[in-house]
Amino acid sequence: MKALSWITNRHVVSALCAAPILLSCVYASAEDVVTAAPAEAAPPYTLTYNLGVYSNYISRGNDWGDGPALQGGVDWAHSSGFYLGAWFSTTDPLTLGGAGTVTNVDPSGNPLGSGNHVETDWYGGYTHAFGPVTLGIGGNYVWYPEGEKSYHNRNQDTFEGNLNIAAYGFTYTFYHAFTDWYGIGNTRTAAAAGRFPNPAEAAADTSGVEYHEVKYNHELPFAGLNFAAKVGYQRSSDICLNQKDFLIGISRNFSLPTGGKPLDGFTAGANYTDTFDVEECAGVSSVTDGSDHKTSYYTDDNGKVINDSKITFYIKRSW
């Protein structure tokens, strides 16, 4: 019995000595499980911002300012394909319509850009990818906070819908205006009567203005440069503003050293823009400054042709 008791006590002591080791193994295993737990899933959306300074505000081949413009925006994109965004740009009041070159023109008024110093765009839509091809549908509401009326005494706020298809670096977008186009009345009636752009001759609706655009973007294999090209066509049966435009641009992404982590998201670039096949309107004198058949409608009261060729430099940051 004494021998048996000794053996039993020996096993008890061995078990007690082994207990801390077993417990440490169990704890280590539990710690490994905690460490291996999956990271918290990323949110199903992204929110990005952008802000930049441009030497000119160019839109569809036209220069909507007398100097540099501050532009920026915010974009929300969901993994489902839905997106929303807002954008702004400073602009300058312009007196267009060839003031002093056609009859019945009020030098203090203009059909486009009258009195507004800021433009804001509010947009949204949906995109879906089918392999290498992406289809999209959206809308954009242009709102001028200052609420200045056009020369035709109409609200300049404009809503456009759009359809687009993108593949292999190319994007085609079709825009259609569902409101009066930037507050312009029907100019063809007035032009035909030789009284363009007399407000009394421009009472008709001007919704339905179309703009077709093809863009191409490509990352060049040297110097970290990006190449961009665009051609567009503005078409309307109501407004004597039909023209085509193109853009060729080069840009480069870069970061700024801060002594710690570099501040990235910067882009610097330059664009060359011009218009061609500009429609000549009856009753509107041609500009005689040597430019390539630009109509006087696109000339302000200082003689500036806003749809002439232009080189625009810019620097912006996205984060």
pLDDT tier at 288, thresholds 50, 70, 90: very low
pTM of the model: 0.78
Per-chain mean pLDDT for the chain: 79
> What residue ranges define each of the domains in the chain, with the CATH number in brackets?
45-318 (2.40.160.40)
pLDDT digits (tens, 9 = 90+) for 234-274: 998 877 778 999 999 999 999 999 888 899 999 999 999 99
pLDDT tier at 2, thresholds 50, 70, 90: very low
pLDDT tier at 40, thresholds 50, 70, 90: confident
pLDDT tier at 204, thresholds 50, 70, 90: low
When pLDDT is averaged across residues 123-127 and rounded to a whole number, the result is: 99
Q: Which residue has the higher pLDDT, 17 or 129?
A: 129
The predicted structure's pLDDT at residue 184: 76
Task: Specify the range with the lowest mean pLDDT, choosing from 45-59, 209-223, 260-274, 279-293.
Answer: 279-293
- 3-state DSSP of the chain: CHHHHHHHHHHHHHHHHHHHHHHHHHHHHHHHHHHCCCCCCCCCEEEEEEEEEECCCEECCEECCCCCEEEEEEEEEECCCEEEEEEEEECCCCCCCCCCCCCCCCCCCCCCCCCCCEEEEEEEEEEEEECCEEEEEEEEEEECCCCCECCCCCECCEEEEEEEEEECCEEEEEEEECCCHHHCCCHHHHHHCCCCCCHHHCCCCCCCCEEEEEEEEEECCCCCEEEEEEEEEEECCCCCCCEEEEEEEEEEEEEECCCCCCEEEEEEEEEEEEEECCCCCCCCCECCCCCCCCEHHHECCCCCECCCCEEEEEEEEEC
